Structure 1
Amino acid sequence: MFNKIPMTLRGFNKLKSELKKLKYITRPCIVKAIANARQLGDLKENAEYHSAREEQSFCENRICEIENKLLRAQIIDITKIPFKGIVIFGSTVTVLQISTSNIFVYTIVGDDEANYKEFSISIHSPMSRALIGKKKNDIIKVNTPTGYIKYIIKKIEYI
């Protein structure tokens, strides 16, 4: 009934770590901040109190969100999948942009793991959608805001 959320083991552990921090470090600090703000007097005009309550709301919502994702997580360990030369979730793919001859290396990961600075791209990104199911030397077209960009797949790794 619930949709599974694909993620790598690294992404799963990262979410677990964030959840632990929120529950055992951030949440108690917020509770203390609320208690301290209550001591300042009238709650109607107490900016510190309202700020702490808002922070508490964000924290609790994030805790619920992470717990939900961890329950629905489908951990995919790419190293345990036999290499068939096809781009799949978790693959690290080297591509050559045809128009510029620039080379890029991307790892296809879950939404929460995506980090463009680390060249980890979401499974739902246009680049990932173009790469999934392709093989070495295939040419892909990626739709971008400035138009289509063509790439050649140079290397596929399951690492």
Structure 2
Amino acid sequence: MNQIPMTAAGAEALREELTHLKQVKRPEIIEAIAEAREHGDLKENAEYHAAREQQGFCEGRIQEIEGKLGNAQIIDVTKIPNTGKVIFGVTVGLLNIDTDEEVTYQIVGDDEADIKNNRISVNSPIARGLIGKTVDSEVEIKTPAGLVEYEIISVDHK
């Protein structure tokens, strides 16, 4: 299976979620199933069926996280020398040449992407257009709104 690039922070967040699911959520669901069983006939027991469904979702998410962590290629960008080149994990400062608007994006793995917090997937059109470029380069990025020209004004390894 292919390795999935992930920042150290992203891997830690998945490990925390996994611990919570195994140590908190799983026991809660098992208790809910036991309680619902005590209510008698399981055929028409909504609480029992809801708890079993929750258990399925929980176990599925546990397997999904374990799979992702098992295939994770954890990249700690703070340990990589900053050459001014855009690579996975860096935070890139961009200047929109047409509007003079500045934006900052961190390039992260698919699971970590969160546009509200300016974290974009390494597989997004913007990130793909930036990877390998260097500070002071001008790049054209194809966006849903059309071509946008940016100047790379900073590359931070934080």
Which residue in 1 is equivalent to 2:29? 30
Whether 1:11 aligns to 2:31 is no
| RMSD of Structure 2 on Structure 1 (CA) | 1.2
Which residue in 1 is equivalent to 2:43? 44
Question: How far 1:74 sits from its partner (Å)?
Answer: 0.8
Counterparts of 1:30 and 1:158, CA distance in 2: 41
Counterparts of 2:111 and 2:52, CA distance in 1: 26
Tell me how many residue pairs correspond in the alignment.
158
Which residue in 1 is equivalent to 2:58? 59
Which residue in 1 is equivalent to 2:148? 149
Counterparts of 2:150 and 2:32, CA distance in 1: 52
AA partner of residue 126 (structure 2): M
AA partner of residue 6 (structure 1): P
Question: How far 1:35 sits from its partner (Å)?
Answer: 1.1
Map 1:63-74; keep pairs closer than 5 Å: 63-74=62-73
* Percentage of matched positions with identical amino acids: 54
The TM-score normalised by the length of structure 1 is 0.94
Question: How far 1:111 sits from its partner (Å)?
Answer: 1.3
Map 1:79-98; keep pairs closer than 5 Å: 79-98=78-97
Question: How far 1:104 sits from its partner (Å)?
Answer: 0.6
Counterparts of 1:141 and 1:34, CA distance in 2: 55
Long gaps (5+) in structure 1: none
